Structure 1
Amino acid sequence: MYDWFPDKEIIFAPTGLWPIEFDINWKWRILSDRRAEVMAWQYKGLPQLKNFCASNNIPFHYVEDGFIRSVSLGALQIPPMSLAFDRQDMYFNANGPTDLEAILSTFDFDGNADLMRRAQALIEQLLSAGLSKYNSSADAQIEEIYGPKTRKRILVIGQVERDASIAYGSREKHSNNDLVRLAYRENPGAQIIYKPHPEVLQGTAEAMSDPNSVRGICTVLEQ
């Protein structure tokens, strides 16, 4: 965070604070500094933190890894190259509005030609460089993995199944294997390709549903 805000004093509060600890040790520190801003990593802050900030006119943001994160995994404590900030809620929470949702729904993208040119240039740069969120895999020839393309292909992208995006992103909870089976049922005759989450592939996160259980209906990527 220091790299992101070099002009600010960054003070980290521990996760798992009890409400009484916040009342005794942190409220006065925040209220006594008129420059104070509060940022919470996902939902690891106290549930009442957002309301406390709103009641006292203190800027508040949720923070999460951005879409181009790092070279290697966040679980290995690699600093992120991008962060997502949202004043309303985490961008993946389907239960209420978020800043990202509002931007995508209301911003006049067609009216901002310069922004669209920059976006297109960035897309082309990402594609030409072969960048992904974690960039933890070695370069590979696609046909050596997928085989020649002779039919429709469906890519199923796995998530860490304990991730907050699973808990808040849908009313119905689906495992990765559920999604593979759904893709198989909805696309008869297609080649189903399943990419487990990089943290699962690297062993830093547990696979709660076993990819081996769906190998009979899909190609499971190993890197």
Structure 2
Amino acid sequence: MRPFFSEYEPHNIHFINPLWSTPLNLAHKKGLKNESHIYFWGRKSFPEVEEFAQNNNIKIFRVEDGFIRSVGLGSDLTQPYSQVIDTRGIYFDPTVESDLENLLQNYDFSSNKELLERAKNIQNEIIKNKLSKYNFDAIKSLNFPKDKTIALVTGQVEDDASIQYGANGKTNLELLQAVKQKYPDRYIVFKPHPDVLSGNRIGNISNDEALKYCDEIVSDVSMASVLEAVDEVHTLTSLTGFEGLVYGKKVFTYGLPFYAGWGLTIDEQKCERRTKKLMLEELIATTYLLYPRYISPKNKELCEVEEVIKELKKQKDALKNSQYLRIKFTVYNFCSRILQKLLSMVA
């Protein structure tokens, strides 16, 4: 995390582990002052700290992975190359305005044509290089029926905060059932979330149960490969819906993700704050360029998204072409998952 916070001296950045004591007591021991900044991961709640911050006018920021992250899962503790730092809320929680929503609603894109050109170039590079958020599954050609509309239904981690705050806690099975009921003529393809398939997170549906409501299940294949082969994306709040827009697909949302409500998706829910109609390039520019921070995979210094795209492409190619790197990648992930389960049991 440290490289993303180059505005601070390294010795002034302190990490608090609430396993050993209360976060507020630990923060005080590490020198918490009124001029300090406090960063929370995602939507986690620490009422004691939040009350102290409010009483002492200390600013709270929320941090989360960005949208082009790594070659490998975050839940496997793979180094991230993008993060978002939000001063208002966090992008996946629609109950409060986030910096991302504020930018989408209020940024004057007409005064920055260069930004929109960059956004179009980034879109082209993502499609050409078949990039997504995690970028580790195999690129494959998928053959679905030619005489039907192919609808992708994306599985998510069911205890994820984006589901809790943006989809009223709906489950993957409920999403599959809803799509099947509303669009019985579609050829429905279900892709489980990689964090669920890895065993790191919850949300699994047995194949027998899933196949009651879909025609095919795909796994161990990149999201880019799937998006190339389908016509539509149906999702609660998954980032795949945004990536579907990037890939030029029709997108249906059943929750309230950050990319819904701007006139680009077919939405079941509505956010009254979102009144602006956006072009796709404006959504891409805000999501990939204005909102996140990036560090270079080469030297971990702050950089632009274009460098991350270039370096992730190199990493993907290296993993594809080197058996040694593939074995190393597999062993690391296996050890990470075992270690995390052991630590969870101890905790």
The TM-score, its normalising length taken from structure 2, stands at 0.57
Q: Give the structure with the higher percent helix.
A: 2
Distance 1:211 1:106 in 2: 44
Q: Which amino acid aligns with 1:138?
A: A
Equivalent residue number for residue 167 of structure 1: 164
- 1:1-223 matches, cutoff 5 A: 1-8=1-8, 9=10, 10-15=13-18, 21-27=22-28, 29-31=31-33, 34=35, 36-44=36-44, 46-143=46-143, 147-170=144-167, 172-218=168-214, 219-223=216-220
Of structures 1 and 2, the one scoring higher in RCO (CA 8 A, sep 6+) is 2
Runs of at least 4 residues off by over 4 Å: none
Q: Is the 8 A contact 1:177 1:211 kept in 2?
A: no
The one-letter code matched in structure 2 to 1:31 is K
Comparing 47-56 with 192-201, greater Cα deviation is found at: 47-56
Judged with a 3 Å threshold, the aligned counterparts in structure 2 of structure 1 residues 174 and 79 are, in CA distance, closer, same or farther, namely same
Relative to structure 1, the CA distance from residue 13 to residue 190 in structure 2 (aligned partners, 3 Å threshold; closer, same or farther) is: same
The structural deviation recorded for 1:210 is: 3.1
Change (3 A) 1:15 1:142: farther
Residue 15 of structure 1 contacts residue 44 of structure 1 at CA under 8 Å; is this kept in 2?
Answer: no
Moved more, 213-222 or 39-48: 39-48
Tell me how far apart the structure 2 counterparts of residues 83 and 168 of structure 1 sit (CA, whole Å).
Answer: 20
TM-score when scaled to structure 1? Answer: 0.86
- C-alpha distance in structure 1 between counterparts of 2:99 and 2:118, whole Å: 21
Query: 1:68 Cα deviation (Å)?
Result: 1.2
Secondary structure of 1:142's aligned partner: coil
Deviation, structure 1 residue 41? 0.5
Shift of 1:55: 4.0
Partners of 1:176 and 1:86 in 2: how far apart?
A: 28
Distance 2:46 2:178 in 1: 37
Q: Secondary structure at the match of 1:31?
A: coil
Residue type of the alignment partner of 2:27: W
Pairwise CA distance, 1:5? 2.3
Aligned-residue Cα RMSD (Å) equals 2.2
Which moved further from structure 2: 71-80 or 104-113?
A: 104-113
- For residues 16-73 of structure 1, give each alpha carbon's deviation from its aligned partner in whole angstroms, at most 9, with x where no partner exists: 576xx344442471216x4x32211013351243453344343321001111121111
Distance 1:192 1:31, change over 3 A: same
Question: CA separation of 1:50/1:109 partners in 2, compared to 1, >3 Å: closer, same or farther?
Answer: farther
Contact 2:16 2:26 in 1 (8 A): no
Shift of 1:156: 1.1
